[in-house]
Amino acid sequence: MQKLGELKLPPFFNYPPYFTLQPVRETREKQIQLWKELILDYCRTQKIFVVGLEEDFPLFSNPAIERSLNHEARVAFLSAIVSDGRAEWMDKGHRRCLILWHRIQDWADIILRFVKENGLEDSVMTVEEMRSGIESRGTDVHGMDRTVLMRALKLLENKGKLAIFKGTSTDDEGVKFSV
Amino acid sequence: MAGNWLLPAETTTSGRPVLRPGEVESSLQPSVDLVNEENPNLPSFKSGLLILTTYRILWLPNPDSTPSPSTSAAVAVPLGAVTHIFQSKKSIKGMFASPRVRFQVSVTTEGRVQERGSKSMVITLVFRGKSDPDSFVVKFWEAYRGRAWEGSVSASAEGVEGPAFLGDGGGSSSSDTGLALKMPVVGVSGILRKEQEMWESTDKSLQDAFQDLNALMNKAKDMVMLAEKMRQKLLSGSNSQVNATNDEEMGSKEEMQDWLLSVGIVSPVTKESAGALYHQQLSRQLADFVKTPLERAGGIMNLIDIYCLFNRARGTELISPDDLLRACSLWEKFNVPVMLKKFESGVMVIQNKSHSDEEVFSRIRSLVQKPDALQIGVSATDAARTLGIAPAMAKEHLLAAESKGMGFLCRDVSPDGFRFYINIFQDIDPNDEYLVKEYGVYDSWIRAAIASRSQSASTDDFKFCELTIVVSLPNRFLEYVGKKG
């Protein structure tokens, strides 16, 4: 079976019509559904948070059958994910798309679990530490997109689980957990 | 019992009269009653279509009142039985009543209309529609004086039979009719004289025919007979005299035969003869005409192709594309076995009513499930080849198959072109993308896709083998030649 990074590709990835946006409504709905799942699965396994429509994205082309998605199809599939609440457009021109393979609420839970598992309940960390520090290595928090991380932290702050404060250096923020 | 006093007339399924060989329609009048005023007990024929031909007066029941014109209802009066046409009297009373035309026919003692009958009776035609009885009378006189039927009687006695108002001009006649040559043919000079006479009569016919179009119309019957005769001559040319047929002519012979075979419709419906009924009658004639070419083309044809064929068969009195379209759109109103179909793209075709979309779809369905098509799909050209139709039309069918509900086709647009595949989307489980239901189209597609990949590897090997053989052969050949030397 074909693989793309860690992801095992489904057999229909070699089906040429899969790469042409189908005009018939019922067929198109099924096709969009399959693409949504595949894009989210791929982003999850590859830890990809941002998909640029004008950049090369390995999933959007299949060299084995010499097919790739055109711009219209890419927009259609990503828009479908956006309307499901699993992604957001990052600009008005719909050129970059933020993929939330975990919802913000799920990310918040993952952060809480990470805090508890590492005994960080009352400690202080910088945001950058969380993303690339030794503690987070091997967890989902490691390598998280900064935008996504900040939004998850804001959610937790509103719940009173932590406090975000401006650090001494201007380019980083600190987090005080109080779980 | 009904109409027993007149002769029955055959009609086609689309309600056109079946004409005899050489019979030409000269006038059509709607809403005409055919009655016997002398004997009101005899059944009269109310408000039907009256057709005057060079042989007969035909009365057909009104197609609107009877949804399917039964063939038995049409009646005919042979012009041969007509003994007199009365001058219509002009009177004050006549101004308000429907115009009438009376004529006398000879009948048998039982009262049946027949040529050379012992008794006679008067038949009255009552024109109820907005028709022109005066011009009808003129044409009636013309046809009556023309005595065209007399030739036909002798011809049919010699074996020319069957309806020949369409198609191959002259029916199945294989005997030499018409231009019989009475001069004894003896020796080479006899043959030469025969050729010479043929030449002269042919030349004269052609000269007369092309003087003007009217003359050509009048000569239509002769021309068709001539064409048939020339065809017969060409057919028998190989085993007859050699003086006129040298090798050069052999090639053009077949071409000539094709031309002669397509000298077609002896009695084309024209605006002049049919008047207001033009499109209606044209529509019926067209319905009869398209049957044969449609069968040959697999039940469906482009409107443009029909236009060419139909005008080719008419030869003269060509119709405009507009008239053709109007004639085709009238089919909806008649009970004819063909229909006009317009695809979404605007392409118009004529198809048999029996030619259903379902049948085409099932053929496409089996086409796209062949191993090759599973791997690389089908293009409109592939489908056209399989279905035996034009690529443009095949594409219409493919698009229709794609858009029908959750269609069984999917498109693939790539730099390689526009292709269609069997739709496997419907077979994929949205909850488990890796699950493959056994014996579904998804399953068979995967099998074909895997097979293609292993096959392409083996064909590469095979090509390599071929290449070595090709390379090694000349070497061996050279060795061999070298040893010889």
Q: What does the pLDDT look like over B3-43, one tens digit per residue?
A: 467 888 888 877 788 888 778 888 888 888 888 877 777 77
Does residue B70 form part of some domain?
A: yes
How many Cβ atoms sit within 10 Å of the Cβ of residue B10?
Answer: 14
Q: Which of the listed residues B157, B175, B199 is the one where a domain comes to its end?
A: B157
Q: Which amino acid is at B204?
A: K
Domain A3-99 identical in fold to domain A104-177: yes
Range of weakest confidence among A136-150, B355-369, B443-457 = B443-457
Q: SS3 of A169, please?
A: coil
Claim to verify: residue B200 and residue B310 sit in the same structural domain: no
The CA distance from B395 to B380, in Å, is 5
Q: Are strands B417-422 and B409-414 parallel, antiparallel or unpaired?
A: antiparallel
Query: Do B150 and B126 share a structural domain?
Result: yes
Task: Based on the fold, state whether residues B235 and B96 are members of the same structural domain.
Answer: no
Which of B423, B451, B476 is the C-terminal boundary of a domain? B423
3-state helix, strand, coil in chain B (%, to 5): 50, 15, 35
- Find the CATH number of the domain harbouring B392: 1.10.10.10
Q: Is residue B251 domain-shared with residue B306, that is, in the same domain?
A: no
Rounded to an integer, the average pLDDT of A38-58 is 88
Give Cα separations from B389 to B308, B349, B386, B407, B436 (angstroms).
Answer: 17, 11, 8, 21, 36
Considering only CA atoms, give the Rg of chain A: 19
CB B426 within 8 A of CB A22: no
Query: Which of the pair, B89 or A85, is modelled with greater confidence?
Result: A85
Say if residue B23 is in the same domain as residue B59: yes
Note which residues in 3-22 of chain A have CB less than 8 A from chain B.
Answer: 8, 10-12, 14-17, 19-20, 22
- Best probe of the A interface among B345, B375, B378, B412, by most A CBs < 10 A, is B412
Using the Cβ of A2 and the Cβ atoms of chain B, whether some distance falls under 8 Å is answered with: no
- Chain B, window 406-445: residues with a beta carbon less than 8 angstroms from a chain A beta carbon: 406-407, 410-416, 419, 421, 423-426, 428, 430, 433-434, 436, 442, 445
Residues B137 and B222 in one domain: no
CATH number of the CATH domain containing B36: 2.30.29.30
Residues of B in contact with A8 (CB under 8 A): 434
Range ranked top by mean pLDDT from A54-68, B286-300, B391-405: A54-68
Tell me whether residues A67 and B414 touch, CB distance under 8 A. yes
With beta carbons under 8 A apart, name residues in chain A contacting B424: 12, 15
Give the range with max mean pLDDT: A65-79, B81-95, B448-462.
A65-79
Q: Is the pLDDT of residue A121 over 90?
A: no
- For residue B163, which of B18, B6, B278, B351 has the smallest C-alpha distance? B18
Count of structural domains within chain B: 4
Do B23 and B104 fall within a single domain? yes
* Chain B residue numbers touching A38 (CB-CB < 8 A): 433
Instruction: Assess whether B206 and B151 both reside in one domain.
Output: no
Q: Give the closest-approach CA distance of B235 to chain A in angstroms.
A: 56
B392 lies in a domain?
Answer: yes
β-bridge pairing B338-342 and B348-352: antiparallel
Kindly identify which residue of chain A lies nearest to residue B421, measuring between CA atoms: A17
Average pLDDT over residues A93-116: 89
In a domain? residue B362: yes
Return the bridge partners of B84, or none. Answer: B104
Chain A: residue whose CA lies nearest to B435: A10
Give the span between the Cα atoms of B52 and B49, in whole angstroms: 10
What is the percent of chain A with per-residue pLDDT over 90, rounded to a whole number? 20
Lowest-confidence segment of A21-35, B71-85, B213-227, B425-439 by average pLDDT = B213-227
Q: Nearest-5° angle of CA B334, CA B337, CA B343?
A: 90
Q: Which residues of B26-55 are buried (b: 16+ CB within 10 A; e: fewer)?
A: bbbbbbbbbbbeeeeebbbbbbbbbbbbbb
For the segment B107-138, what is each residue's pLDDT rounded down to a tens digit? 887 777 877 777 888 888 888 877 777 888 88
Closest CA relative to residue B415, chosen from A16, A80, A134, A57 = A16
Say if A178 is an interface residue toward chain B (CB within 8 Å): no
* Separation between Cα atoms, residue B446 and residue A12, nearest integer Å: 8
Residue A9 has pLDDT above 90, yes or no: no
Q: Provide the b/e sequence for A157-174 (b: ≥16 CB within 10 Å).
A: eeeebbeeeeeeeeeeeb
Whole-number pLDDT of residue A31: 92
- Report the pLDDT value the prediction gives residue A21, as an integer from 0 to 100: 93
Phi, psi dihedrals of residue B123, rounded to the nearest 5°: -110, 140
Q: Considering the domain boundaries, does residue B133 fall inside one? A: yes
Q: Are residues B316 and B365 in the same domain?
A: no
- Could you tell me which of B120, B123, B131, B134 has the C-alpha nearest to residue B89? B134
Mean pLDDT of A34-46: 90
Q: What is the mean pLDDT of residues A69-76?
A: 91
Residue of B nearest to A38 (CA): B433
Q: Does 1.10.10.10 match the CATH number of domain A104-177?
A: yes
Of B231, B261, B291, which one is at a domain's C-terminal end? B261
Same domain, B78 and B116: yes
Has residue B432 been placed in a domain?
no
**Residue A33 with chain B: CB contacts under 8 Å:** 430
Q: Which one, of B221, B203, B199, B207, lies nearest residue B316 by Cα?
A: B221
Q: What is the dihedral of CA B352, B358, B359, B364, to 10 degrees?
A: 120
Compare all CA atoms of chain B with the CA of A24 and give the residue at the minimum distance.
Answer: B403
CA dihedral B19, B215, B80, B103 (to 10 degrees): 100
Residue with the bigger pLDDT between A121 and B171: it is A121
CA proximity to A178, closest of A162, A155, A165: A162
Q: Residue B111's pLDDT is what?
A: 75
Provide the H-helix boundaries in B147-246: 148-157, 187-209, 213-218, 220-236
- The reply to whether B79 and B43 lie within a common domain is yes
Q: Do B430 and A33 lie within an 8 Å CB cutoff?
A: yes
Predicted local distance difference test score (pLDDT) of residue B316: 75
| Cβ <8 Å between B406 and A23 | no
Q: Which of B375, B428, B434, B445 to mutate to test the interface with A (most CBs of A within 10 A)?
A: B428
3-class DSSP state for residue B485? coil
User: What is the spatial distance between Cα B374 and Cα B455, in angstroms, rounded to a whole number?
Assistant: 14
Q: What is the structure's pLDDT at B180?
A: 40
Q: Which residue has the higher pLDDT, B205 or B68?
A: B205
Topology, domain A3-99: Arc Repressor Mutant, subunit A (1.10.10)
The pLDDT score that the predictor gives to residue B5 is: 79
Domain spans of chain A, in order of start: 3-99, 104-177
Structural domain span for residue B152: 7-157
Average confidence (pLDDT) over B403-425 = 85
Structural domain contains residue B92: yes
A23 with B377: Cβ contact below 8 A: no
Which tokens is B108 given?
């048998």
Greatest mean pLDDT among A166-175, B139-148, B175-184: B139-148
**What is the interface pTM, i.e. ipTM, of the complex?**
0.82
Q: CA-to-CA distance for A115 and B173, rounded, in angstroms?
A: 104
Mean pLDDT of chain A: 86
Question: Across the interface, do A19 and B423 touch by the CB < 8 Å criterion?
Answer: no
Whether residue B29 is found in the same domain as residue B99: yes
Measured between alpha carbons, how far is residue B49 from residues B31, B32, B128, B280, B364 in Å? 6, 6, 11, 11, 45
What value does the mean pLDDT take over residues B35-54? 81
The pLDDT value recorded for residue B263 is 53
